[in-house]
Structure 1
Amino acid sequence: MSESADSTSGTGISKEAIGRYGVWSIGLRSDDPARRGEIAQAAAELEELGYGTAWLGGSSAPLNALPLLESTSRLIVATSITSIWQHNAAASAGGYSDVDAAHPGRFLLGLGMSHAKLAEQYRRPLSALVAYLYELDGAGVPADRRVLAALGPKALMLSRDRSLGAIPYLTTPEHTAHSRELLGAEPLLAPELGVVLESDPSRARALAREHLAFYLTLPNYTNNFKRLGFTEEDLRDGGSDRLIDALYAWGDDDRVRGHVDAFLDAGADHVALQVVDDNAPEDLPREAWRRLADLLG
């Protein structure tokens, strides 16, 4: 991290604690009190299965981490992401302080700029994120207790200089290799990877295309795909086979494990696994998490 990041450094969370594998799920984040028990049980099982980190999908607030932290003793819990447009810096700082006081050293504040389609006030997003980080500095949130959703070079360099590292979403091993070059060896690099536990190519790609459809409407992602060498043709009709096969791990156990390993070989410290199936995003795919834990050893 840069000198500015060091100046607000806290206790930090080690890469060993974060682990090589985690799970990313919208279902782990809920404001519904009736779901706290279900989420707590799932978190306890994730820890028992050996996952290092649970990533709360959607625009999560720090307090959404509490049911998971209260039911576990080692699991790291992180937001992925807290949108800077939906949660102001003062609220995020207060939430971080409350969560860290209750469960020291086990929460990461994952921040992101979201998308113009999702945030009415979306203007100069990178400048807004920089200002947000300065507010967090002033509120005492350590740089090494936050991570940034980063795709392009400027965002990746900001994650290097002002946070523990980067949590890219919907990327490829090639993006991971390029990100590692920009970040250097020390910062955390923890990409998300969609996993379709389906061996039939047509069925697997259909599930992946259904998941990808919304993201193909967001320029942040499509521009990144083009930087990676994909063309307009690849982005049509739900995504080409080439695009789908690069973005999603699907197939039998060996094929899925090989895709995950490709990210680690490219320089990732950790891979956040998102199960993609035909269930509602809010469902908790616990059987799939068990199968992944088994095939990844």
Structure 2
Amino acid sequence: MTIDLAVDTARRALGPVGASLPVTFTSTPSATVQRDAGRRLENAGYRALWTNEVIGKDAFTHLSVLLAATERLTVGTCIANIWARPPQTAHGAAAYLAQAYPDRFVLGLGVGYPQQAESVGRPFGSPLTAMRDYVTGMNSETWPPAPDSVYPRILAANGPKMLALAGEITDGALPAGLPPEHTAQARKTLGPGKLLVVALSAVIDDDLARARETARQVVSTWSTRPSFCATIAEFGYETAENTTPDDQVVDALVAHGTPDSIAEKIREHLAAGADHVTLLQPIGIEFASGIDGYVSLAPALIGLG
């Protein structure tokens, strides 16, 4: 088995579990608030922090602020949207961060949605073709050249074709919102030498009944996407738009409840082959409350892996 140096370094730097910053669409927390959040999570014992990106929010700028504010955190894009910038610019930005903060940056790339491509005047086309062309374009020569620094590239990939592409042209994959059985299949597709980061939705609430209902709402939102329903059906889980997901589906897809319950779901994905699990809280949760939740969860995560 051959493991790339970037993959091996990322595995050690990321550790088994990380936190994705809460996603807010109505306002953007200030840089001061973001710095404080990064320091709190680092002091709580998290080794990795991830952020999302939409058109109009630059993930590289965001992470540069967090890297400067912390001492040890490894940061990653979960994901950097390929419609937000040309591929050569993405590589230049990633390489610059990797040069400035060695072994503390992972680039996750995602193809996003048709409306994001349309918003910048680009045709969405085939997701596989778009992603292959983008990753290939990242290696195009520029003048001046990008810094000669190493960082891992992984692709947001739930379906089997995108997972196969991730294993072919990048250092690994980042599936999201799927059961441990999918993690096992993703590891089989990628092989042992690739980085597998799993994004796991988490509802942190000691009231189990309330936590499950919140988790059910999360799955209901996902159920509006036919591709999601088709993917989970391959593993024996059924849900559809305008139906209420049953407990079996909710419990399989979303970690919810007490810190110990969430830690156990993380263990399931690690046992299935994930190198790293990053937690995602429901969209719309208030930023400060989300950070408080991660801090309260941290003691239960010590020793995972």
Q: Give the TM-score band, short-chain normalised.
A: 0.7 to 0.9
- Partner amino acid for 1:105? D
- Cα deviation 1:164-208 (Å, max 9, x = unaligned): 211111111100011111111121111011111224443112212
SS at structure 2 position matched to 1:271: strand
1:42 Cα shift? Answer: 1.1
1:11 Cα shift? Answer: 9.2
Query: What is the distance in 2 between the residues matched to 1:110 and 1:53?
Result: 13
* More divergent stretch after superposition (269-278 vs 136-145): 136-145
Name the CA shift for 1:271/1:149 in 2 (closer, same or farther; >3 Å).
Answer: same
Query: What is the distance in 2 between the residues matched to 1:24 and 1:109?
Result: 14
Preserved CA contact (<8 Å) 1:56 1:79: yes
The match for 1:259 is 265
Preserved CA contact (<8 Å) 1:47 1:72: yes
1:91 Cα shift? Answer: 2.7
TM-score (norm 2): 0.84
Question: RMSD of the TM alignment (CA)?
Answer: 3.0
Name the CA shift for 1:142/1:165 in 2 (closer, same or farther; >3 Å).
Answer: farther
The match for 1:172 is 179
1:87 Cα shift? Answer: 2.8
Preserved CA contact (<8 Å) 1:170 1:192: yes
Q: Which runs of 5+ in 2 are unaligned?
A: none
Q: Which runs of 5+ in 1 are unaligned?
A: none
Q: Which runs of 4+ in 1 moved over 6 A?
A: 9-12, 28-31
* More divergent stretch after superposition (23-32 vs 216-225): 23-32
SS at structure 1 position matched to 2:245: coil
1:266 Cα shift? Answer: 0.7
Name the CA shift for 1:222/1:243 in 2 (closer, same or farther; >3 Å).
Answer: same
- Cα deviation 1:19-49 (Å, max 9, x = unaligned): 11100124499996x7111111111222222
The match for 1:92 is 90
SS at structure 2 position matched to 1:111: strand
Preserved CA contact (<8 Å) 2:22 2:290: no
The match for 2:167 is 160
Name the CA shift for 1:265/1:111 in 2 (closer, same or farther; >3 Å).
Answer: same
SS at structure 1 position matched to 2:200: strand
Preserved CA contact (<8 Å) 1:89 1:136: yes
Q: 1:22 aligns with which of 7, 15, 18?
A: 18
- Partner amino acid for 1:13? T
The match for 1:54 is 49
1:10 Cα shift? Answer: 6.6
Identity value in percent: 30
Query: What is the distance in 2 between the residues matched to 1:101 and 1:255?
Result: 38
Name the CA shift for 1:143/1:122 in 2 (closer, same or farther; >3 Å).
Answer: farther
Preserved CA contact (<8 Å) 1:174 1:228: yes
The match for 1:130 is 132
Query: What is the distance in 2 between the residues matched to 1:252 and 1:44?
Result: 24
Name the CA shift for 1:274/1:173 in 2 (closer, same or farther; >3 Å).
Answer: same
Preserved CA contact (<8 Å) 2:25 2:284: no
Give aligned pairs, total. Answer: 290
Query: What is the distance in 2 between the residues matched to 1:74 and 1:29?
Result: 28
Preserved CA contact (<8 Å) 1:89 1:132: yes
Preserved CA contact (<8 Å) 1:191 1:271: yes
- Partner amino acid for 2:203? V
